[in-house]
Amino acid sequence: MERLFWTKHSEAKMSFYHLSKQRVQRVLHTPKRIEEGIAPNTIAIMQVAGSQKHPYEIWVMLQETKTRRKIISAWRYPGRTKPGQPLPEEILREIREVRI
């Protein structure tokens, strides 16, 4: 299992959006969508949350290395977003292999 490294920025954002470390880890474990991150060499992972009347998404931006996963930021987005640019299939395969 890869170690998680939490940046000060991610901890501040989690506090601001009332997200716990366990909730962010749940997003990492069972994402609904995986896309390329805005920053270079990053991945954005999303999970749908909330209710049908008040939907929101929880997003986590991370950077993966061989030894650890660096959590850069986490935030709560109100509503639903349209899918952006997905990750290439070969990178998705690598992520799934590492998780197993």
pLDDT of residue 18: 96
* pTM for the structure as a whole: 0.81
pLDDT per residue over 33-90, tens digit each? 999 888 888 999 999 999 999 999 999 999 998 889 999 999 998 888 888 766 667 7
pLDDT of residue 85: 64
pLDDT of residue 95: 62
Report which of 27, 18, 2 is spatially closest to residue 98, judged by C-alpha positions.
Answer: 2
Per CATH, which fold does 3-86 belong to?
YaeB-like fold (3.30.2310)
The helix/strand/coil state of 83 is coil
Q: Which burial class, exposed, middle or buried, applies to 76 when counting CB atoms under 10 A from its CB (0-12, 13-18, 19+)?
A: middle
